[in-house]
Structure 1
């Protein structure tokens, strides 16, 4: 089955939705040749001329990278410089470029979750909360004899789900009054006469994504021409759909040296830079791939005794306060992107029976050596 770029974009949104990305970021399509059939996909960490050539040789016309090619505002395209050269090569070969940067950092199954999983962290919380799905209270007034039917319709459409509980509603009984005018077609009562009806106000919490479906279900079974429905957004509960960085508890308190040895093994790297007392032991750590040294203080406030990231600036080391910092390299903390994204994409393609070849480029070593 042929798959177009537009169809592929819908699939890519399931893995790391662009709405999860930071405002300053440029996740999503950097180069897009619309309506073309996908011939193959290559996944990489960075867009490089040799990777574009590799994609062409393997018959791929969609390149997916972690780091955007067009990151900051581009004022000119110079084919002799890095960005311009890559854009020219992509255009000449008809290769589209999609970037999953902070969208993949923040995704529930993204880079930081993978890093946290390697340490089996529990009691997790995001260092910086991302996109939150709010809940709404939907309330409707209905004649008592129709209450069960309306209540079942509401809960079947998704209302009344709180944690491990379902069909949670609150019911207030009272009397409703109304007077139909000459144009009305009342279910109960007569034109021009005041009517009093025994009614119940049924209310239930509903997630933002289910709200429209619940409202349609209520209107479909409600006996009144114009049912009285109110929708109010709640402050609690709310569900975090994404977030940057993770703080969590180790399975047991460990010496810092042991945590760092494990880190090197996980990342398959020879060295990490550390600031702080490495003779201590820690129970709670923070972790965030890439350049996240500015998250150290926020991680400390959430109880982290050790913060691991890929890149830390001089002033961030200087501002360190009662927390051990470990700098494991931008490349090494994010190279897991390629395999994680490949697995997520393959699952999505399998779910819709799309048969497209996916390649992961041979990972280069970091641009600097120690």
Structure 2
């Protein structure tokens, strides 16, 4: 059995929820349809003519990319322009394209975490907050016989986290009353008779990102035909998600030695550097993509160096004057997402019993060449 496109996109949005994206980012399904079975998926950083040909060659009906196919507004769809010809080729070959961009940058276990892990950074924190998970208080009434079963199902689905503490709840014993009417099938009591049941009111905290999953898990194992529960919005701040990561190296290294680590870990042929090569480096900020505007964020976080792409001349000058060290491995260092997304998605599909295959693109979409 092959997964439908909608199922695959739902899985991707579990990894990188859409609301994690920065405002106005071009994400989601951009070309084609998800309303069909998908035998093969191709994961790529960019969608280029060579990538489209690669997808067609392996028989992929869906491309998952990091960078948008349609980034700027298109006033027309002309096939005699590069952008128009690319979209026309995708439609001709019946290949859909789904974009996961800054939401994948922001997500825990996304691009910035993969880059930080590759550089062996520990004690990681977010560099720039983008989204804070809204919190809800869930209160549900459970018969004593199913108390632990329902509560544990909610915990397993993501409820009950307060800071670094999990399985947090408050439990109150009491008596519930109900009168089943015609057409009902009560777990306790009988139709037409006022019934009482020993119940436990369980209160726990649920983040927005896990709300649907927690409620679904609760309803699935709760024995009642009609489950009585309340959901309250809270003003308390939940977990923060954001762009970039800040962490520490296993040991102090010079900037020159750390630059070699960056080249090896991110698999790039060269890096550009700003700063003294002998400078000791321990605390590192990393941000995939273009991060010039986050130099001051890295300084404020106490980082010894910022690893990010697309550093322009004037930003480099300003950083040097401010005593901030930079390493630019290029925007294409985000290619780290290809094997990681492909592996994660493949595991999720197999776990659910789907035969859909996921491939990491082998096409090099780096536009720059060295001489």
1:83, CA displacement in angstroms? 0.9
Q: Is the 8 A contact 2:65 2:100 kept in 1?
A: yes
CA contact (8 A) 1:4 1:35 kept: yes
- Cα distance between partner residues in 2 of 1:347 and 1:313: 39
- Structure 1 residues 153-302: aligned runs within 5 Å: 155-156=151-152, 157-158=154-155, 160-162=160-162, 163-169=164-170, 204-208=204-208, 209-210=210-211, 231-236=232-237, 238-240=238-240, 242-302=241-301
Q: What is the aligned partner in structure 2 of residue 75 from structure 1?
A: 75
Alpha-carbon spacing, 1:275–1:232, altered in 2? closer, same or farther (3 Å)? same
Distance 1:351 1:204, change over 3 A: closer
State the partner residue of 1:49: 49
Partner residue, 2:304: 305
Q: Note the alpha carbon deviations across 1:240-293, whole angstroms, 9 max, x for none.
A: 3x3211011111221111110111112333321111222210210101111111
Q: Give 1:24 shift.
A: 2.7
8 Å contact from structure 1 (residues 161, 168) kept in 2: no
Superposition pairs of residues 55-66 of structure 1, within 5 angstroms: 55-66=55-66
In the alignment, is the contact (CA less than 8 A) between 1:296 and 1:307 conserved in 2? yes
Shift of 1:127: 1.0
Superposed displacement of residue 300, structure 1 = 1.3
Give the 3 Å change call, closer, same or farther, for CA 263–6 of structure 1 in structure 2: same
Contact 1:137/1:234 (<8 A) preserved: no
Query: Residue 9 of structure 1: CA displacement?
Result: 2.0
CA distance in 1, matches of 2:43, 2:219: 41
1:198-236 superposed Cα distances (whole Å, 9 cap, x missing partner): xx998654444357579989x999xxxxx9978350424
Deviation of 1:76 after TM superposition, in Å, equals 1.3
TM-score scaled by length of structure 1: 0.79
Secondary structure at the residue paired with 2:289?
coil
Look up the SS of the partner of 1:73 in the other structure: coil
Find the counterpart in structure 1 of residue 115 from structure 2: 115
SS of residue matched to 2:285:
strand
Structure 1, gaps ≥5 residues long: 172-184, 189-199, 222-226
What are the ranges of 5 or more consecutive residues in structure 2 without an aligned counterpart? 173-192
In 2: Cα distance, 1:42 partner to 1:53 partner: 11
User: 16-25 or 146-155: which moved more?
Assistant: 146-155
CA positional deviation for 1:323: 1.5
Instruction: Give the number of equivalent residue pairs.
Output: 339
Q: Aligned partners of 2:53, 2:195: CA distance in 1, in Å?
A: 70
Q: Indicate if the aligned counterparts of 1:134 and 1:233 stay in contact, CA closer than 8 A.
A: yes
SS at match of 1:8: helix
Counterpart contact for 1:155–1:167, Cα < 8 Å: no
Distance across 2 between alignment mates of 1:115 and 1:45: 14
**C-alpha displacement at 1:311, in angstroms?**
1.1
The CA RMSD measured in Å over matched residues stands at 3.5
Is contact 1:138–1:231 with CA below 8 Å preserved after alignment?
yes
